[in-house]
């Protein structure tokens, strides 16, 4: 209704105040007067707002991606922390099983005492040279013992109950003779125990920078 009134008023203005015009020209002029401001509003206001809205939408999408990435990293961090705690726990347990360097002499003394207490004659007890690995060292021990078969079994059983890891890697039961009504064997036993390397020893094993391997 308002548009019709505006059109009628505009037609009257053109006929009375300006010059009599053809009806089609009047309609064209009226259309321009109405449409041009609308187009100007669309391009100057709506288009600018539309770009602003799209920009905000892109920023929101980017923020959502960043938040999702942060959550994923946080979840992985929790997993890594849990793995670190588990590694610390296992390392603490291993620290009990693998003695330090200063504890090796007393451990070897205990092994020798177990042989004697098991009724074996310790003919030889010879710790060998260390074989160093990444963070620990193997310490071989060669024994030559004389005693009945079941005494050897008792000795190996007692060794297996030690707090520290001691493994029997080779057992060679040799010939013997009867003593006091039982067979006494002359046997060779190879044991291996382990120890943690000290930090300075681990560092010494690492290849030094600037030195080329030959």
Each residue's pLDDT tens digit, 115-143:
999 999 989 988 888 888 877 888 899 99
Cα 82 to Cα 89: distance, rounded to the nearest angstrom: 11
- Contact by Cβ (8 Å): 133, 162: no
pLDDT for res 190: 94
Distance in angstroms (rounded) separating the CA atoms of residues 60 and 52 = 12
Residues 26, 14 contacting (CB under 8 angstroms): yes
How far, in Å, are 88, 99, 120, 194 from residue 163 at the CA level?
19, 9, 22, 12
pLDDT at residue 62, rounded to an integer: 81
Nearest to 85 by CA among 93, 74, 97: 93
Q: What is the pTM of this model?
A: 0.51
pLDDT of residue 95: 61
C-alpha separations of 180 from 36, 140, 184, 198 in Å: 127, 33, 9, 49
Residue 102, both tokens: 């200063």
Residue 213: predicted pLDDT = 47
Residues in the chain where the model's pLDDT stays below 70: 1-53, 87-101, 208-214
Q: Give 158's contacts (C-beta < 8 A, 6+ positions apart).
A: 114, 117, 118
CB 93 within 8 A of CB 86: no
In sequence order, the 6+-apart residues with CB closer than 8 A to the CB of 145 are 115, 120, 121, 122, 123, 152, 155, 186, 187, 189
pLDDT of residue 23: 58
CA distance 57 to 189: 77
Residue 112 in tokens: 């020798």
pLDDT at 113: 92
Q: Which residues of 46-85 are buried (b: 16+ CB within 10 A; e: fewer)?
A: eeeeeeeeeeeeeeeeeeeeeeeeeeeeeeeeeeeeeeee
Beta strands 121-127; 166-179: pairing state: unpaired
Longest dimension (CA), the chain: 151
């Amino acid at each position: 209704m308002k548009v019709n009134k505006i059109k009628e008023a505009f037609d009257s203005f053109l006929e009375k105040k300006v010059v009599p015009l053809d009806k089609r020209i009047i309609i064209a002029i009226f259309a321009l007067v109405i449409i041009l401001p609308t187009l100007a509003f669309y391009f100057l206001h709506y288009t600018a707002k539309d770009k602003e809205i799209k920009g905000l939408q892109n920023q929101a999408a980017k923020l959502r991606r960043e938040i999702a990435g942060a959550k994923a990293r946080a979840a992985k961090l929790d997993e890594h922390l849990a793995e670190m705690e588990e590694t610390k726990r296992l390392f603490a347990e291993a620290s009990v099983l693998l003695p330090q360097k200063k504890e090796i002499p007393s451990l070897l003394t205990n092994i020798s005492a177990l042989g004697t207490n098991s009724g074996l004659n310790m003919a030889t007890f010879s710790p060998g040279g260390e074989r160093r690995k990444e963070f620990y060292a193997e310490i071989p021990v060669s024994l030559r013992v004389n005693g009945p078969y079941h005494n050897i079994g008792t000795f190996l059983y007692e060794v297996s109950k030690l707090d520290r890891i001691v493994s029997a890697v080779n057992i060679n039961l040799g010939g013997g003779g009867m003593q006091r009504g039982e067979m006494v064997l002359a046997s060779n036993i190879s044991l291996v125990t382990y120890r943690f390397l000290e930090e300075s020893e681990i560092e010494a094993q690492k290849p030094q920078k600037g030195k080329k391997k030959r």
